[in-house]
Amino acid sequence: MGGQLAATAETAPREWKKPAPHEDSRLHQLAPYIGKLKPVIARQLLRQFTASGDVVLDCFSGSGTIPLEALLLGRRVLAFDINPYAVTLTRAKLEAPASLEAANQQLTRRLAAAQGRPRYAVEEVPEWVRKFFHPETLQNALRFADECLEKDDQFLLGCLLSILHHQRPGFLSFPSSHLVPYLRDRKFPRSEYPEMYAERKLSSRLAAKLRRAYKIDRAINRAGVLQVGQVGVADLRLDCEVDAIVTSPPHMNALDYVRDNRLRMWFLDRRTADYSPEPTEKQDQSDAITAAFARNALRYLRTGGYCVLIVGETVRRKRITSHPAERIFAKLGLESPALHVEHVIQDEIPDVRRSRRTGSATKRELILVLKKG
């Protein structure tokens, strides 16, 4: 079966490969997330297959690229994901204060309240978390996170998570990688780089983060946000029909969303372990997600509405070769025979942020454009 869809695919537009255009909202860069969809791709798909005022569902919202672009284009948005970090990022972008001044006022209130919160005992924080931070930096970051969680301030919580780990001075951790949390103490030994292991002030780094986020701002009609939540597709229930579904399901066996975000996720949920298996690691688990999507998402799509899926073409990883696009398409055909293919678009993925450095995961995506007849 592998390759049949790809053989009939259209070539992706050239502009999809170009650097980020000036029209991209800075909120897209609010925080790192593996497998992020380029805003220009989301924007063009939404322009082509939805209209102003349409209700757009993204049930695997990830970093919130599709919901944010949908809002900017005047659509109404329903966005869900099972990953708490994904939900925080999506809400952070859709609930961002209207201006830098408003964001700074919000930050001042949260910082002051966080200082009055109780300190953590050392044994309350797992060793794998403690090793990333100066003790005082960790105390301040944890109390600020708790204040944001208590006040449901997902925007400032997302800003905190965005500067949690890196080796650059504007981040909070000891020298470490940006996307996947691992220490780089061999490259930057403490004896040679003592300044990289000193306390890092939270307030100044968050203020700098806000300035970067609002360097270029575009108005967002937040009235278009109908619902955002931490809901898996197996539990999805809506009270309205949708005009389009535009989403990127997790690529089977391609990316480790939980492991690679484990430090940020621990700040959101203190039960998070140092390592957890992925729900898409095995074929039967991925098939179950596809079946749940067909039962619980596609039934809300109006007749004549589009379902646009961005999925991996071929994945070679952990001694397994799979064709997720073909498998998803075959499964959807069985579950939802009213769907038919309008377009298949093939896009190369040259950016290492969207695949493993070894190239062992997916290097191409297929965009399946299906119409409900």
Q: Are residues 115 and 129 in the same domain?
A: yes
Q: Which ranges of 54-134 would DSSP assign to H, the alpha helix?
A: 65-72, 84-94, 100-115, 127-130
How much is the pLDDT for 345?
Answer: 92
d(CA 31, CA 313): 27
pLDDT at 29 over 60: yes
Q: Are residues 305 and 263 in the same domain?
A: yes
Residue 204: Cβ-neighbour burial (10 angstroms; 0-12, 13-18, 19+): exposed
Q: Are residues 182 and 248 in the same domain?
A: no
pLDDT at 62 over 50: yes
- What H or E segment, with its residue span, contains residue 345? strand 339-348
Q: Are residues 88 and 132 in the same domain?
A: no
Q: Are residues 88 and 236 in the same domain?
A: yes
Q: Are residues 262 and 331 in the same domain?
A: yes
Least confident of 15-19, 80-84, 140-144, 307-311: 15-19
pLDDT at 323 over 60: no
Give the residue from 75, 352, 60 showing the smallest Cα distance to 229: 60
Q: Are residues 177 and 293 in the same domain?
A: no
Q: Are residues 227 and 338 in the same domain?
A: yes
State the residue range of the domain holding 147.
100-213
Of 175, 195, 213, the one marking the end of a domain is 213
Of 213, 231, 265, the one marking the end of a domain is 213
Structural contact between residues 62 and 38, judged by C-beta atoms closer than 8 angstroms: no
Q: Are residues 173 and 232 in the same domain?
A: no
pLDDT tens digits, residue range 199-257? 999 999 999 999 999 987 677 888 999 999 999 999 999 999 999 999 998 864 456 77
How does strand 76-81 pair with strand 301-312?
Answer: unpaired
Q: Are residues 321 and 268 in the same domain?
A: yes
Of 213, 230, 258, the one marking the end of a domain is 213
Tell me how many domains the chain contains.
2
Q: Are residues 200 and 173 in the same domain?
A: yes
Give percent of the chain above pLDDT 90.
67
Q: Are residues 248 and 318 in the same domain?
A: yes
Give percent of the chain above pLDDT 70.
87
How would residue 317 be classed by pLDDT, with cut points 50, 70 and 90? very low
